[in-house]
Structures are given as structure tokens and as C-alpha cells.
Structure 1
Amino acid sequence: MALPRAFLPLRHRTFRTLWLANLASNTGMWIQNTGAGWLMTSLDPSPIMVSLVQAATMLPVFLFALPAGALADIIDRRLYLIGAQAWVLTMALLLAALTFSGVLGPWGLLAITFGIGAGNALNFPAWAATTPELVPREDLVQAIALNGIGFNLARALGPAFGGFAIAWAGAGFAFALNAFTFLWLIVALVLWRRPAAAASTMPKEHFLSAMRVGVRFVAASPALRATILRAVAFFLFTAAIWALLPLVVRRQLHLGPEAFGLMLTAMGAGAVGIGFALPSVRRLLDTDGIAFWGTLLACAGMGLVAAAGHWFPAAIGMVMFGMAWVTVASTLQAVAQMVSPAWVRARAIGIYQLCFFGALSFGAAIWGWVGDAVGLPLGLGSAAAIGAVVAVAVRPWRLDLTGPAAAPSGARLPEPEAPAPELAGVLSADSGRIIEMITYRVDPADRAAFLRRMAEMRRVRLRNGASVWRLYEDVAHPERWIELWSVESWTEHLREAVRLTEDDRAIVAQAAALHGGAAPPEVARFINVVP
């Protein structure tokens, strides 16, 4: 029997196994969050200490997103994920043991909660970067949507399981249950037989250098910058629902915690439902349209909640919001993954998630303050209205997945001369900065076209490791141009060729095709010999 289109990624055995294990671990995470928050009300019931439980969970994302992405790119990803889960398992077992023994205090709870959050923060970029390895490209967007469905299922089930576990056997049992779910994920990762990467003669990237290269890649990638901008514009305003919903239920609808749970369930139902419908939506709208109209749907749902005086229209608004949340979040993350080549994908995703969580946290604080200052309906309604206006304003930054035009037929990339034998001994990872230079001869009539190509070349060089890029025009001979860029070491220079994507090669070939000299463009490389 054929699978529905929404479930097609589950036909891939490894993805299915890891998806189920990740669903279990996410459920355990929500069980742990529920248990930690409840336990803190007994250890120290002050509002600030209870709120610090959530802060201890989220803060590691800001601290470790970029380092985690760099590590996930330079270490075998399967082993890295196993290590991150083993850390979380250790912290979860420690938390359970201290709770059962009765020696855990409020600050100890915060410290271990921070440790678990750190493990999850280390896991996020690597896990997101792994999904393209588990499914073919045509299933990637739906696989990410299924990840979102799993997360929302866990968010719906985890607190309920956590509350039952606490009522039945105490917080220690809830923490032990969380540890078990991560043990399940570790077993699934151990059983994953990840295809071996192609052998490389180059050493691993250094940690700090890998982070710098990741930042440069994002800064020089228009598609990724547009994705991050659209994500910030979405999460900054939709964060209002997370900040104000508990107060809307309590003060505006005059209902209790059961109704709050109903609202979250309604949001989860919308998220799960749209996840199944996304394949049909993608046949009607392109990627950019899905993100845009999804944002407007989220703002409409928030507006309905803001205006509601009864639980039913508020629940409808939350269903709309849940549908939009999964649609936009999965679409943006899919674009971030597809425009990032494998060698830098985890770093790019780490920076994307840093901006995503930053916008979400900052937005929650801002809209919480606005709601307190002007009232809940006006505060939430303002977030919805401004969010819709901003969605229109940022739409020119399109989520474009198309590459550049194909390289000219027969075009060749400029090739440098081989290093002189007498210098072979100084060319290493510790050699010092390398300057690279290409000399072009361009017909003055092609000057405008050449400058357009060079603007693209700048991004290509910076994306692939250059720290400086310059273009010079000979003042005496306007047909003569020099493209110059530098990298940190000889090894980084060798990595440039490996990092070039097919799109990058097409851009390089297009620039070289504008060279009009009898000989090909002259390529030279210089090593810094004086510190």
C-alpha cells in the first residue's frame, strides 16, 4: 500500500528509525521541562526562580549554537550526535539520582537543567544538518515538516506524560523517564550505518577557524541572509503568542489551566494537520509564497485570539497559528539547509537557529512588556498587525533556490601553476597567510558585465574561506584587472577547491569567459614570509 505524500520520507528506513527515536527524546525533553518547573515550585516557589528554569533551558542555545555547528562540521556527525546524547543522558541520570536522594537544591536544579539544555543546544545544528543525508532532496521539505510534526506531538504528549509521572511517582521518576528516552535515541544512532565520507588528504579544520569561516559563509550568502531575515521577521512578532497566551486565557477569557492546555492542544492539532497537507500546498505555491502566506495566516490567527472573548474563536485562532507555525518554520529551515553545502551546513544551521531563538526570546520579552503596558488585546493585536506589515516589507528578500546561469560551453576555470619544489616544505597548515591573484584582460565594452560577475565572485571567494577580497583596475590600461583575495593558510587555500559548488564553478567560469587575452587569465599565489 502506497504511503500518503505527507509520510513519504518515512519510507526511508534510517530516517524512520531516527525520527521515531527523536520523537521519543523530544517527548522526554518536555517531560523533563514539566518536572523541573514543578519541582522548582517546591524547592523555591518564587516567580523569578521558576522563570529561571526556562531561562536555563534556552540560554545554552545563544551560547553554543555557533560552536556546536562548527564541531558538527569538523567531527564525524554520527559520533558527535552520540556524544551529545550521551551528555544529556548523563545529566538526566544525575538529575534523577539527586532528586531521588532528596539532596537536590534549587540552584542544583538550575545547573543541571542548564547542562541538559547545553546538550540539546549542541545537538540542534547537527541533527538539522543530518536530515539531508537521510532522505533525497525531493523529500527534504516534507522530512523537515515531519520533524516539526514530531516536535508538536512531543509538546502535546510530553507535559501530559510528565504530569502523570509526577503525580504517580514524583519528579525523580519523570527525570528517569527522560533519561530512558535519550538512551533509545543513542541506540538508534549507534545502529545507524552512516556512509563513509570520501577520503581527504587534508587535516581537519581548526575549531576557531571553522567558526570564522562559518560566519563568513553566511555573510556572503544572499539566499541564507534572506532566509535569516525572513525568519527574524516571522519569529520576532509571532513570539507574542508564547508570551501572552497564558495571560489571555486567565485574564481575557477568565478560564483556568485546563483551557490553557486546550489552547496548546488546538495549536498542536493545527500544526499536525497542516504537516499532512503540506505536499498539496507546495503544488499550489512556491517556497516564497508558502512563507509569505503562512506568515499572514499566523498574524490572522493571533489577531483572532486577541479579539476573542470566548474560548471557541480563540481555539480557532490557535489552530490557524499552529498551521502557520509549522508551515513557515519548516519551509525556512528547509531553505537554510538546501542553500548550505554539506561542508558548512551545521554551522549555517547553527547561525540560523541562533537568530531564530534570539528573535523568539527577544520578541517574547518585548511583547510581554507591550501587553503589560497597553493591555492584552491591544498588545497581541499590535503584534499581529505589525507582523503582517513587516511580512510585506521583507518579501523582496525572496527565498530563491535557483542557481546562476550555466557556465559558457567549453569554459575552463583559471588554473595556477604548481608550487616550486624548493617551497614545498613551507606550504602547510601553519604556513601563514596566502594571497591569491588573477589577472584579467577585459574589453572596455564588457566592463559593466564584468563588474556584475565580480560582485558574484566576491561572494564566492568569501563563502569558501577568503577573509579579504579586492578588485583593482589598472589606471593606465583600463582593460587590465586584478582580482585579489587572501586566506589564512595554505591548507585553507587547498580547501577552496573542495568547497566550490557547481553554482560557484559556473560563476567562476562566467567571469573567466569575459577574459579576452590570447592566453588564459594569469593566476598567481603568494605566501607571507615576514610576520
Structure 2
Amino acid sequence: MIAPLRVPRFRLIWGASVLSNLGLVIQGVGAAWTMTQITNDATLVALVQSATLVPMLLFTLPAGAMADVYPRRTVALAALAISLSGTSILSMLAFANAITPVALLILSFVAGCGMAFFWPAWQSSAADDVPADLLPAAVGLNSISYNAARVVGPGVGGMIVAGGSATVAFVVSFCLYLPMVGAQLRTSARRTLTRLPPERIGRALITGLRYAANATPVVNIVVRSFALGAIGGSVHALMPLIARDLLGAGAGTFGILLGLFGAGAVVGIVVAARLRQRFGTDGSASVCIIALGLSLTVVGVSRYVPLTGAALIVAGAAWMCMTQACSVGLQMSVPRWVAGRALACFQASLSGGIALAGVGWGLFAERFGVGNAFIGSGLLILLSIALRRVWPLPEIGGAYVVSGVGAPDPELVVRIDGNGGPILIEVEYSIPVRQALGFHRMMTTVQRLRKRNGAYGWSIARDLGRPDVWKERFHFPTWHDYLRQRERLTDQERELQSSVMSLHAGTEPVVVRRFLLGPSEVDLTSDADHANEWPQTVIQ
């Protein structure tokens, strides 16, 4: 598990990432406690958490596209600059005792924006920092860094607030971002060279969303993480109110409770692997959900610090196990070309759920009481176990998705610009009638393969006059998009294509035809000698 830390580049970035993630969380703790001191409105207190996490929902997807298209170090440095600006202004206002609820929410939002752009670039850079055989372990360590900071950080922040003030927490948060800036400047940028120009951000975003929608592991993780954040996120949004309203205590007790929640996260890191070995990924997730639901219910009914603290230890461990399973499972299930965007989908769903929890459970607590909010959250999280029947989590121990070697460019007669399109691809198969049902079922999987790699308008048709002839058709916006799809095929996807090809029984190989839809007069004039010579090539 710790083998990637022997790689100097990864060790430097990973150590700095622990501190920067911790800085964001400490800033959030200071902001949350500051809000309790300047207002008695429970909704405003809960909105501090939402203000920090809403940027994850709004900007993480574009940030993931940027991380896949542009140099990740450049994206990371720009994101850190945004976070540093928000935190520095917050520190200065705190020193001047000039913080208002509105200013606190706005600056928390700015700091969250920076981390929203930083997170996909950092997480998806693991493949650039370590050899391929160490990538699974590196993914796990990055997951631990982020999730540990999210659940250990509140405890550290609480102790800083209790021993000093929220102002000290803001200054500490600012300082904790600086090591990552130094680490990024110290390491040289690494970028995979490609003969194709980078995708435009808008198209890269659409491609990433299309991939996520057609990749079952990504869909399952997105749904489960959103449910976890929206239902169980009450523990993050309402943590200050546990100390103030349920226990009638102050900042000291608040810090202790956060520390206990963080200690539970450490326990979760230790026991996560054992739980997966015994129950499997989805089974261990169910165990965590039960533990989280029961612990939140205990928090809601308890009025004693020891009992509440014990429940928060269990809640921290359960939260860590669940989020780590989702993060590692996702990164082991997607190829590197879309890793930033897939991680962005996961983070947006989890952060969006927690942000929704901040608003929803804050309003619920304001009307029905903080204790009832935790009881309701605990009961709903227990009921969410039923989601595993429809959206099971992928097994972390399964085969890692390996990007294959790109296919050579097809030979063309008609010259075409890379931005020319749309492109229609037609594949003709000859399938024996007795194998038609199996072929059709296999093609439903091929359909998802085509769509997640950038195709649209997919269809499969059977010749009514020759029932053994099938034609598959799909489209790409441009010729470059089609060439990118050929480079994106993973080893597993090539195996699927080979299985489909093995059903072909014609005397001639499977034929692929490529068409430029609606060629313009410029296209026809520039290559008049070959205007009607559409190529016919054999799939390779």
C-alpha cells in the first residue's frame, strides 16, 4: 500500500496534498464556528458547509475536463491561487473583526471554487507520477489523503478554534496551501504527447458526461455517493449545533467532537480493507451504512458528551470506509483519458449531496429541532441500503481498466480536415441466424462502448432480404473525434470487439465504411478528382 511513497515525485505531491486538503477543512471549521458566534440562525450555520461544497457541484465537471485536456500542473496552480485569495481575504477580515454572514459565505464559496478546480487535476495525476504497477496503490493513497483530511481535519480545526480562535484557523488554513504550491512548482510538468489536438473544453465536458452515463460502475458510484452525501451529510452540516444545542457546550466541546469524528476516520482507514475482504465491496458498504445510520440516530437522542463522542467515532469510521470504497472503485474502473472527468462526476455527486444536506437538514433542524434532524437522517440512511439492489458498487479487487494501444489511422482516398464532419461509421457483419440472438445481446454492450468513447446516434439494423446481414451505424462530430475514439479503446474493450468479430461468418472480413455527411462545396472542390470515391476498408 505504501510502495508509491518510495517514488520521490509522488511522495512530495502526496504529502503536500494532505496539508492542502486539511487547510480547506480547517477553514470550513473556522467559518462554521464563526457563523454560530455572529448569528443564531441554524440555516445560516448549515449554509457555511454548502457554500464550501457547492463549487464542487458547479465547477468540478469543467475542472475535470480541464485536467484531462490541459497540463494538470498548470490547472492545479491556478486553482490554488483562487483558494489562497479567498482564504487571505477571510483572514484579514477576521483580524479586523469585520466579518458578516454574507461575506463569510462568499469567501467560503471562493475557497471552495479553488479546491473544486484543484481536486480532479491532483487525483488524476497519479498515473503521471508512478509506474503502472503502482497505480492502484497510488489511487488508494490519494483517496486516503483526501478523505482523511475531510474527516480528520474537522477535529484539528476544532482544537485550533477551541485553543485559539477562528482567526487562527483561517491563518493556518492559508499556510497549509503553500506547500502544495511549492511542490507543484518544484516538479516538472508531465503530459502525454498526442498527434491529435486537444479537445475543446465544451466538447470534452460532453464526452466525459457521455462516458459517465454509459459506464455502469460510474453511474452506480455517482448515485450511491449522492445518496450518502444528501442523507448522511447532516453530520458535516450540523456538527456545530451538536455542541451548542444538543449538549449545551462551547467551542471546547465542539473541538473534542470533531476530533473524535476524525479519530473514527483513522479507524475506518485501518478496517476498510478487512471489511472488503470479508464482505466484498458492496457488502462492506452496507455494513458502513448500518453503522452510520445507527450512530446518527444515537447522536440525535444523546445529551451526554461520552455517548455522543462514541457515536461520532463510529460515524467517522463508516463515512471513511464508504467514501474510500467509492473513490478507489471508480479510479480502478475507468481509463486514464477520462479519469479527471469521472472523478469530477463522483466528487460533484458527493459534494452536491452534502451541499443539499446543508440546506435541507438545516431547514429541518430550524423547524423540528437538531435532535430530530439527526434521527431522521439516521433512519433514512438505514433505508438507503436498498439502493444496492439497483446500483451495486464495483468490486475493488476486480481487473484494473488498462488503456490499449491506439489503432492506426484508416487509409482514405478523399482528403478530410480534422474538424470536418459529422462522420458516419457503418460496420457490416454476416451473422448466422442461429447466433443472431447472442449477437444482438452482445451489441447492446457494444452500444455502451461506442457511446462512452464519444459516438452518438448508434443503431443496429438487420437486412430483411438477407437475414444474416447486420449493419451497425454510429456518428462522430468530427474526424478528429473519430480518431480519438480509436485511441481510447481499452484492452477490455478490444476483447469485446474480438468476441463480436468471432461471430462473423462471411467469406469476406467485416467491412467498415466511413462517410462524411453532407460534404460542402469546399470539400468537393478541393478534391474534385476523388469526390465520389468513398473508401471501403477492413477493420483492423
Structure-1-length-normalised TM-score? 0.86
Residue 141 in structure 1 maps to residue 130 in structure 2 = no
Q: Does 1:14 align with 2:9?
A: yes
Contact 2:234 2:358 in 1 (8 A): yes
- Deviation of 1:228 after TM superposition, in Å, equals 1.3
Residue 399 in 1 paired to residue 398 in 2?
A: no
What is the CA deviation profile of residues 439-490 of structure 1, one whole-angstrom value per residue up to 9, with x for unaligned ones? 1111111111101110010011011101221111112222111100001100
Q: Structure 2 vs 1, CA of residues 163 and 251 (structure 1 numbering), >3 Å: closer, same or farther?
A: closer
Of 45, 53, 57 in structure 2, the residue corresponding to residue 62 of structure 1 is: 57
What secondary structure, in the 3-state scheme, does the structure 1 residue paired with 2:392 have?
coil
1:83-232 to 2 correspondences below 5 Å: 83-96=78-91, 110-134=105-129, 136-139=134-137, 140-161=139-160, 164=163, 166=165, 171=167, 175-193=170-188, 195-197=190-192, 199-232=193-226
> Aligned-pair RMSD on alpha carbons?
3.2
Please report how far the alpha carbon of residue 252 of structure 1 lies from its aligned counterpart in structure 2 after TM superposition: 4.1
Q: Which residue identity is paired with 1:268? A: G
Q: Sort the Cα spacing of 1:35 and 1:141 in 2 relative to 1 into closer, same or farther, 3 A.
A: closer
Gap regions ≥5 residues in structure 1: 407-412
SS in 2 for 1:482: strand
Alpha-carbon distance change, 294 to 36 in structure 1, aligned in 2, over 3 angstroms: closer
Matched, 1:263 2:257: yes
Q: Report if the CA contact (8 A) 2:10-2:129 is conserved.
A: yes
Query: Aligned partner of 1:73: which letter?
Result: D
Contact between 1:275 and 1:327, CA under 8 Å: does it hold in 2?
yes
CA distance in 2, matches of 1:295, 1:50: 26
User: Which residue identity does 1:259 align to in structure 2?
Assistant: T
**Shift of residue 150, structure 1, vs aligned partner:** 3.5
Counterparts of 1:405 and 1:201 in 2: how far apart (Å)? 23
Which residue number corresponds to residue 71 of structure 2? 76
Indicate if the aligned counterparts of 2:286 and 2:385 stay in contact, CA closer than 8 A.
yes
User: Residues of 2 paired with 1:416 and 1:45: CA distance?
Assistant: 64
Matched, 1:419 2:418: no
Q: In 1, are the aligned partners of 2:47 and 2:359 still within 8 Å (CA)?
A: no
1:321 paired residue among 291, 310, 315: 315
Deviates more, 1:458-467 or 1:124-133: 124-133
Distance 2:178 2:511 in 1: 57
2:300 matches 1:306 = yes
How far has the Cα of 1:330 moved from its partner?
A: 0.7
1:86-115 CA distance string (max 9 Å, x none): 332344445555666788876555544432
Q: What is residue 287 of structure 1 aligned with on the other side?
A: 281
3-state DSSP of counterpart to 2:508:
coil
Greater mean alpha carbon deviation, residues 121-130 or residues 332-341 = 121-130
Matches within 5 A, 1:508-523: 508-523=497-512
Partner of 2:357: 363
> One-letter code of the match for 1:452?
R
Moved more, 451-460 or 158-167: 158-167
Greater mean alpha carbon deviation, residues 254-263 or residues 66-75:
254-263
- What secondary structure does 1:285 align onto? helix
Q: What is the alpha-carbon distance in structure 2 between the residues aligned to residue 67 and residue 336 of structure 1?
A: 18
Moved more, 441-450 or 308-317: 308-317
- For residues 237 and 50 of structure 1, what CA distance do their matches in structure 2 show? 18
Inter-partner Cα distance in structure 2 for 1:270 and 1:346: 29
Cα distance between partner residues in 1 of 2:46 and 2:301: 28
The CA deviation string for residues 416-443 of structure 1, in whole angstroms up to 9 with x for no partner, is 95111xx32x3312x1211111011111
Deviation readout 1:194-248 (Å, 9 max, x if unpaired): 5552x21100111100000011000110111111122223223212333455444
2:324 is the alignment partner of 1:341: no
Instruction: Give the CA deviation at 1:332.
Output: 0.3
Distance in 1 separating the partners of 2:79 and 2:450 = 33
- C-alpha contact 1:142 1:278 (8 A) present in aligned 2: no
CA deviations on 1:472-511 (whole Å, 9 max, x unpaired) are 1112222111100001100001001111111111111111
State the alpha-carbon separation in 1 of the partners of residues 355 and 171 from structure 2.
Answer: 29
Deviating more after overlay: 343-352 vs 57-66: 57-66
Q: Within 2, Cα distance between the matches of 1:302 and 1:142?
A: 28
Point out the more displaced range, 86-95 or 454-463.
Answer: 86-95
Q: What secondary structure sits across from 2:15 in the alignment?
A: helix
TM-aligned CA deviation for residue 271 of structure 1: 0.6
Q: Give the secondary-structure state (helix, strand or coil) at the position aligned to 1:334.
A: helix
CA contact (8 A) 1:414 1:521 kept: no
Distance 1:78 1:414 in 2: 29
Correspondence for 1:454: 443
Distance 1:98 1:244 in 2: 25
Amino acid at match of 2:212: V
Which whole-Å CA distance do the structure 2 matches of 1:249 and 1:103 have between them?
25
Among candidates 448, 456, 471, match of residue 467 of structure 1: 456
Are the aligned partners of 1:88 and 1:119 in contact in 2 as well (CA < 8 Å)? yes
Give the TM-score normalised by the residue count of structure 2.
Answer: 0.85
**Residue by residue, what CA displacement relative to the aligned partner does 1:268-294 show, whole Å, maximum 9, x if unpaired?**
111112213334334333222222222
Q: Deviations over 1:33-87 (max 9, x none)?
A: 3555566678x75747666554432332222111111111100112221221133
Distance change >3 Å, CA 266–CA 100, structure 1 → 2: closer
State the alpha-carbon separation in 2 of the partners of residues 326 and 380 from structure 1: 19
Cα distance in 2, alignment partners of residues 403 and 452 from structure 1: 23
The CA deviation at 1:343 is 0.8
Distance 1:505 1:300, change over 3 A: same
User: How far off is 1:19 after superposition?
Assistant: 2.6
Q: Identify the range of structure 1 (515-524 vs 28-37) with the bigger mean alpha-carbon deviation.
A: 28-37
Q: Which residue of 2 aligns with 1:410?
A: none
User: 1: distance between equivalents of 2:278 and 2:49?
Assistant: 39
Contact 1:271 1:323 (C-alpha < 8 Å) held by counterparts: yes
> Would you say 1:29 and 2:21 are equivalent positions?
no
Q: Secondary structure at the match of 2:125?
A: helix
**Residues in 1 aligned to 2:370 and 2:431: alpha-carbon distance in whole angstroms:** 63
Q: For the residues of structure 2 that align with 1:428 and 1:514, how far apart are their CA atoms?
A: 33
Q: Distance in 1 between matches of 2:304 and 2:408?
A: 70
Q: Is the 8 A contact 1:30 1:159 kept in 2?
A: no
Find the aligned partners of 1:231 and 1:449 in 2 and give their Cα distance: 34
Maintained 8 Å contact 1:274/1:327: yes
DSSP 3-state at the match of 1:497: helix
Report the CA distance shift for 1:318/1:99 in structure 2 as closer, same or farther (over 3 A). Answer: closer
